[in-house]
Chain A
Amino acid sequence: MASLKQLALREEERPRFTGGHSLCAGCGIPTIVRTVLDSIPGPVVAVSATGCLEVATTRFPFTAWGVPWIHVAFENAAAVASGVEAAYRSLAHRGKLSGERVTIVVFAGDGGTYDIGLQALSGALERGHRFLYVCYDNEAYMNTGIQRSGATPFAASTTTSPVGSVGRGKAETRKDLTAIVVAHHIPYAAQASTSHWQDLSVKVERAVAQDGPSFLNVLSTCPPGWGHDSRDGARLARLAVESRYWPLFEVVDGHYRLTHYPAHPTALVEWLEMQKRFAHLRGIQSVDLESMIEREVTSQWQELERRTAESKVWFEERESASV
């Protein structure tokens, strides 16, 4: 486990992602990218899907990337990473590469992961490439101006699910992408949040140590998309975790473990209230909407607790075996 000081030192020694990019103040993405890259010990090749991160960090002729980086299109980051990984395997096998093992990391938003890139992700997971896929989940198509995605929560107002005289925000609940990924039986999958940087860093270390695919779904705050103050990014990310809206957990070989347990969860409304996308819930008629979100969060939490309880013995046995 790296301390904040160690991560900062690594960043100073080998800057892998520099400032000067045009991501918004209060955006969660740079925190995710820096924490991920600084937590990986050896050389890295990064692959990005089209999206905020790609557009804001690689405006020709500039780049914020200190590691080899490639972007091809929106829906195919996992397939591009598959190709890079296959190239690595082939060239290493044929003795054309020397040096430390290269880690291949994908960064893609929720649009590029939950929706248009899901097939490519599924294929890459099924094929078992050794790579880490990081979804920075800001819960909508933010780069194109805040449109609803499969990750957008129920009732959230976006430009394609606006609140109007009839519309009450997104009519459907979020897709459980992490569960879809887990169904591919990959060695390691986890959810993380920018508020808990050390939890994220440890998960990256565990993920890249796997001899196979690994996946991190990281909640990423978005001031323009969520309608919150830039300075509140970290606080909002923390409230998402503490309210159990975005639980922090990991799935190791199919076994679930909560990595942070909000014993005294904060009220969900505290989290909702800080975001303009949920502003319509403040009205009196919207009590049902709010309770529907509450019900979704509660049922997901209960399911997660059930799975965690089932996996408890497995983790205990594994730990006692490794002592």
Chain B
Amino acid sequence: MARTMQGFEVLTGGEATAHAMRQIRPDVVPIYPITPQTPIIQTFSRFVADGKVDTVLLQVESEHSAMSAAVGAALAGARTMTATASQGLALMVEVLYIAAGLRAPVVMAVGNRALSAPINIHGDHSDGMLARDSGAVQVFAENAQEAYDLMVMAPRIAEHPAVLLPVLVGQDGFSVTHSAENVALLRDEEVQDFVGSYEIPYPLLGDRPSSQGLFAMPDAYYEIKVRQIQALEAAEQVFADVARAYALRFGRHLGAVESYRMDGAERAIVLIGSTAGTAKDVVDELRERGERVGLVAVRLFRPFPHQALEDALATVGRVAVLDRAAAPGTLPPLFADIRAGYHGTAELRSYVYGLGGRDTAPEDIAKVYRDLQLPAHAGIRYLGLLGEDQHGES
């Protein structure tokens, strides 16, 4: 496997993502700056300026227009990618729903960041959760390598004839977008061969005229919508197939969920994104001390891999679900999803952490594993909240 790789380079998540985009060589990339996504489009723009990729860059005047242009380009017959974060994703959400409804397979990198107010540029998953029900496929990376790998996988998932939906590839703002690490890049030809050519059924610039974006009354809307929902459901198998193909070819397997030292685990944490890295260290340490703890990192968030989670949590007795976003007035999103589809016997507890970029240290994670040895708490716990008893009501 190693011989197929270009070798390691020290890259931030943002840079690694831009490299994936350069290697995919999309036809059109509409861009608009927003922290912490900006390094992605800056790096990509540099590749264009240096002639390393001949993509048509579209420097639009808002994220709303970026997503609108992306839908126009994708349905015209062009492989289209973009990137955004936070308020930018919020502004795009109207069009993201439409992109899913029009079955426009746009691939988008997201540097996940808190939502205003207060305004805050740091990492959490509130933006992704806002796009949760858009109908787009949504995946989250733990680190720069995963951000790169998922980006290379994304076009094949988005453009699969059974799917034809936007794919959002999330990476935590700053902790992944701006943190440099060793990233193994594939060779350009390998990436292009892996993603293949862009094919959609009725490109506007093709030779079969079609009308797209029609007005549907109650006699038709429902059926169209259910087909779209089924396409997102189909994306779970497509994701698994693409992940397997990627693993066979390049040696790295990115499943819908990653189970880390879950063999014989009695207590487990489930979470999304970069904090998995911190939690793995804590798990290693506790395992050395003989504690039976494990971690489950959720990569595929939409469609939600209920069965994969059920399997991953098969042996545990107590589970802490850590959400880096809230759902004010109800249970946090990841916890709610897990609880909705979980048929096992483990006791599930809800934590919120890291909002607005609040650091989550190994001690915070260790504290959660300790908590799991104690009787259940009521409601949601707010990990790392200053000066409070950290107990919320729900």
A127 surroundings in chain B (CB, below 8 A): 58-60
Among residues 42 to 58 in chain A, which have CB atoms less than 8 Å away from a CB atom of chain B? 45, 47-48, 54-55, 58
A-B contact pairs, 13 of them (CB 8 A): A58-B215, A59-B216, A60-B215, A69-B211, A71-B212, A72-B102, A76-B64, A80-B68, A83-B69, A83-B72, A87-B28, A90-B55, A91-B205
User: Are B28 and A90 in touch, CB under 8 angstroms?
Assistant: yes
User: Are B76 and A123 in touch, CB under 8 angstroms?
Assistant: no
User: Are A97 and B205 in touch, CB under 8 angstroms?
Assistant: yes
User: Are A61 and B75 in touch, CB under 8 angstroms?
Assistant: no
Interface residues of A (CB under 8 A from B): 45, 47-48, 54-55, 58-61, 63, 65-73, 75-76, 78-84, 86-91, 93-94, 96-97, 102, 119-120, 122-124, 126-127
Residue of A nearest to B220 (CB): A60
Q: Nearest chain B CB to A244's CB is how many angstroms away?
A: 35
A122 surroundings in chain B (CB, below 8 A): 61
Q: Nearest chain A CB to B214's CB is how many angstroms away?
A: 4
User: Are B62 and A123 in touch, CB under 8 angstroms?
Assistant: yes
- Given that A60-B217, A82-B72, A90-B55 are contacting pairs, would A69 and B205 also be in contact in the complex, using a CB cutoff of 8 Å? no
A124 surroundings in chain B (CB, below 8 A): 65
User: Are A120 and B76 in touch, CB under 8 angstroms?
Assistant: no
Q: Nearest chain A CB to B394's CB is how many angstroms away?
A: 36
A60 surroundings in chain B (CB, below 8 A): 214-217, 220, 224
Q: How many A-B residue pairs have CB under 8 A?
A: 162
User: Are A58 and B211 in touch, CB under 8 angstroms?
Assistant: yes
Contact of B77 among A63, A80, A87 (CB under 8 A): A87
- Given contacts A45-B205, A72-B72, A127-B58, list 4 more A-B pairs with CB under 8 A: A69-B209, A70-B204, A87-B74, A88-B76
User: Are A91 and B78 in touch, CB under 8 angstroms?
Assistant: yes
Residue of B nearest to A45 (CB): B204
User: Are A73 and B68 in touch, CB under 8 angstroms?
Assistant: yes
Query: What is the bound-complex CA distance between A61 and B223, given in angstroms?
Result: 12
- Given that A68-B209, A87-B205, A102-B205 are contacting pairs, would A79 and B27 also be in contact in the complex, using a CB cutoff of 8 Å? no
B30 surroundings in chain A (CB, below 8 A): 82-83, 86
A123 surroundings in chain B (CB, below 8 A): 60-62, 65
B59 surroundings in chain A (CB, below 8 A): 127
User: Are B73 and A87 in touch, CB under 8 angstroms?
Assistant: yes
User: Are A61 and B28 in touch, CB under 8 angstroms?
Assistant: no
Query: B141 on the interface (CB 8 Å rule)?
Result: no
User: Are B56 and A89 in touch, CB under 8 angstroms?
Assistant: yes
B78 surroundings in chain A (CB, below 8 A): 83, 86-87, 90-91
Residue of B nearest to A77 (CB): B68
Among residues 27 to 78 in chain B, which have CB atoms less than 8 Å away from a CB atom of chain A? 27-28, 30, 54-56, 58-62, 64-66, 68-78
Query: B210 on the interface (CB 8 Å rule)?
Result: yes
Q: Nearest chain B CB to A254's CB is how many angstroms away?
A: 22
Q: Nearest chain B CB to A195's CB is how many angstroms away?
A: 29
Chain B CB count within 10 A is highest, among A61, A73, A81, A119, for A73
User: Are A126 and B71 in touch, CB under 8 angstroms?
Assistant: no
User: Are B69 and A82 in touch, CB under 8 angstroms?
Assistant: yes
Counting from the closest, the 10 A-B pairs by CB-CB distance are A83-B72, A123-B61, A83-B69, A71-B213, A87-B78, A79-B68, A76-B68, A79-B65, A87-B76, A83-B73
Contact of A47 among B54, B64, B72, B220 (CB under 8 A): B72
Query: B80 on the interface (CB 8 Å rule)?
Result: yes
Residue of B nearest to A63 (CB): B211
Q: Nearest chain B CB to A241's CB is how many angstroms away?
A: 32
Q: Nearest chain B CB to A154's CB is how many angstroms away?
A: 30
User: Are A84 and B214 in touch, CB under 8 angstroms?
Assistant: no
B76 surroundings in chain A (CB, below 8 A): 45, 83-84, 87-88, 91
A69 surroundings in chain B (CB, below 8 A): 209-213
Q: Nearest chain A CB to B377's CB is how many angstroms away?
A: 44
Query: B363 on the interface (CB 8 Å rule)?
Result: no
- Given that A87-B27, A102-B205, A120-B68 are contacting pairs, would A126 and B61 also be in contact in the complex, using a CB cutoff of 8 Å? yes
User: Are A80 and B69 in touch, CB under 8 angstroms?
Assistant: yes
Query: B95 on the interface (CB 8 Å rule)?
Result: yes
Q: Nearest chain A CB to B178's CB is how many angstroms away?
A: 28
Residue of A nearest to B94 (CB): A73
User: Are A63 and B214 in touch, CB under 8 angstroms?
Assistant: yes
A54 surroundings in chain B (CB, below 8 A): 213, 215
Query: What is the bound-complex CA distance between A261 and B61, given in angstroms?
Result: 38
Query: What is the bound-complex CA distance between A78 and B66, given in angstroms?
Result: 11
Q: Nearest chain A CB to B20's CB is how many angstroms away?
A: 18
Contact of A72 among B66, B95, B210 (CB under 8 A): B95
Query: What is the bound-complex CA distance between A45 and B77, given in angstroms?
Result: 12
B 17-32 binary contact with A (CB < 8 Å = 1; else 0): 0000000000110100
Residue of A nearest to B104 (CB): A72
B27 surroundings in chain A (CB, below 8 A): 87, 90-91, 94
B55 surroundings in chain A (CB, below 8 A): 90
Chain B CB count within 10 A is highest, among A54, A66, A82, A87, for A87
Contact of B209 among A66, A81, A83 (CB under 8 A): A66
Query: What is the bound-complex CA distance between A86 and B80, given in angstroms?
Result: 10
Contact of A67 among B54, B62, B77, B209 (CB under 8 A): B209
Query: B98 on the interface (CB 8 Å rule)?
Result: yes
Residue of A nearest to B71 (CB): A72
Query: What is the bound-complex CA distance between A154 and B62, given in angstroms?
Result: 32
Q: Nearest chain B CB to A62's CB is how many angstroms away?
A: 8
- Given that A73-B98, A90-B78 are contacting pairs, would A79 and B60 also be in contact in the complex, using a CB cutoff of 8 Å? yes
Query: What is the bound-complex CA distance between A88 and B94, given in angstroms?
Result: 25
A80 surroundings in chain B (CB, below 8 A): 68-69, 71-72
Q: Nearest chain A CB to B296's CB is how many angstroms away?
A: 38
